[in-house]
Structure 1
Amino acid sequence: MKIIVIIPAFNEQAAIGEVVRKSLQYADDVLVVDDGSGDNTSKIAGDAGASVLKHQTNFGKGVSLRDAFKKVDGYDIVVTIDGDGQHNPDEIPALAEPILKDEADFVNGSRYLNGFDENTPAYRRVGQRVLDIATNVTAGTSVTDSQSGFRAFKGDTISCYKFRDPGFGIESEMIADAAENNLRIVEVPITVKYDVENSSTKGPVTHGVGVLLKIGKDKIIRMTKR
């Protein structure tokens, strides 16, 4: 089975090299989408062994994934992982396994499948539950981590994803697209490190509200299509 790992990245020079090197232990190829970084993300990723697609402007995670998915023909499994070191690439085989066993088309790495870790910040617990509920209502699913950036996709299903949202609303949108196309969605537990995340230009509340509004917009669009 041929596997590619996609890493959307924005100013991730501190962690991107290690994420690429570890990912290459479990994948045939790694593609980093440098979404307008102002640091050395592209060079470090390339030196570590990744192919690099460089955006001159910061377009957003949804655009990065859209552009990357256009380049994954011929792969049996497509894995997405964040470039900030929050996720552990050593868990890639666990995400690929349900697809290899033909038990899933979409594998969602869940930080909360077994409940919230005691180290999970309180604001994340509240915000995550709200976004999970909104996503599940829109998609008719029961996922426990709708905002996970660590996922695996069966290669012949990638045309199901439309990439309408340019930003972080893409995580929920992809779940809804998978459900709408009757794909088999499975969750597996993953670990997470919160102390390595880049500080966002948006506060967590602003970010969460923005994603929630995009989920609502996506719900309206899907209802009007029926």
Structure 2
Amino acid sequence: MDERLLQNRMKSIVIIPAFNEEAAIEGVVKKSLQYADDVLVVDDGSSDDTSRIAQDAGALLLKHPTNYGKGVSLRDAFREVKGYDVVVTIDGDGQHNPDEIPLLVKPIVEDKADFVNGSRYMNGFDENTPAYRRVGQTVLDIATNVCAGTHVTDSQSGFRAFSGKTISCYKFRDPGFGIESEMIADAAENNLRILEVPITVRYDVENSSTKGPVTHGVGVLLKIIKDKIIRMI
């Protein structure tokens, strides 16, 4: 489906959570604007030029005074996107390709899904996927699917599309990266139609995360378990 047709049929916005992403944010914003009516960058306490570059590239801006976490960034952004038919989230580090936005939006436009997850692993792991990421991703996918009752292949994807009618379903309890699994659980709990589409990914980009992959993975796993316990109470 032509991206211009998608624009004409539905009002869309791309949300980009960003923390010290001055190296990549301009390209992500400009490319995203080719496929959406608006782009909203949430600068989560960056100490570099992320905010200025994002605005100069054409983005709307929310700026946090300090680094609160990805979950808080998405929560604040979702509070600002009422009136949009489609909401897309994409990471600001250049790892995802904004040219694939129409692939995620299409199932929502065609009323085949409420939540579209961009999966890096629908066809298995790419040979360029680091070994530590394969192991960690597999563990987090299993934990997410068991706790949420889903069958997603990429529970930690930050590249997603949502029907604007469903944004109130997401509670944003977790302030950090556990939000990716939590949103899947929220969607499942509300009986939303979850669909995955394959996406590409780059692993050669700079990453602003200050946590090592093992620490990060263990932290997310504990948050998935905690979220499940809270839902059971």
Same fold (TM over 0.5): yes
Task: Give 2:38's match in structure 1, choosing from 23, 29, 33.
Answer: 29
Q: Distance in 2 between matches of 1:195 and 1:168?
A: 20
Q: Which runs of 5+ in 1 are unaligned?
A: none
* Identical-residue share of aligned pairs (%): 85
Q: Distance in 2 between matches of 1:72 and 1:203?
A: 32
List structure 1 segments (4+ residues) > 4 angstroms apart after TM superposition: none
- Shift in Å, 1:198: 1.2
3-state SS of paired residue (1:162)? coil
Q: Distance in 2 between matches of 1:209 and 1:21?
A: 34
The amino acid that maps onto 2:194 is I
Q: Does 1:84 align with 2:115?
A: no
3-state SS of paired residue (1:215)? helix
2:21–2:208 Cα contact (<8 Å) kept: no
3-state SS of paired residue (1:42)? helix
> For the aligned residues, what is the CA RMSD?
0.5
Task: Give 1:156's match in structure 2, choosing from 138, 162, 165.
Answer: 165
Aligned ranges 1:36-185 → 2 under 5 Å: 36-185=45-194
- Aligned partner of 1:190 in structure 2 is 199
Q: Which runs of 5+ in 2 are unaligned?
A: 1-9
Aligned ranges 1:204-215 → 2 under 5 Å: 204-215=213-224
Which whole-Å deviations, capped at 9, do the CAs of 1:140-199 have from their partners, x for residues lacking one? 000000000000000000000000000000000000000000000000000000110315
The amino acid that maps onto 1:196 is V
Which whole-Å deviations, capped at 9, do the CAs of 1:46-91 have from their partners, x for residues lacking one? 0000001000110000000000000001100000000000000000
Q: Distance in 2 between matches of 1:85 and 1:130?
A: 25
The amino acid that maps onto 2:83 is G
Q: Does 1:17 align with 2:37?
A: no
Q: TM-score, normalised by structure 2?
A: 0.95
Q: Distance in 2 between matches of 1:175 and 1:187?
A: 12
Q: Distance in 1 between matches of 2:206 and 2:96?
A: 10
Q: Distance in 2 between matches of 1:97 and 1:126?
A: 31
- Aligned partner of 2:7 in structure 1 is none
The amino acid that maps onto 2:157 is S
3-state SS of paired residue (2:40)? strand
The amino acid that maps onto 1:216 is I
Q: Distance in 1 between matches of 2:187 and 2:55?
A: 31
Q: TM-score, normalised by structure 1?
A: 0.98
- Aligned partner of 1:4 in structure 2 is 13
Q: Distance in 2 between matches of 1:137 and 1:57?
A: 34
- Shift in Å, 1:6: 0.1
3-state SS of paired residue (1:94)? helix
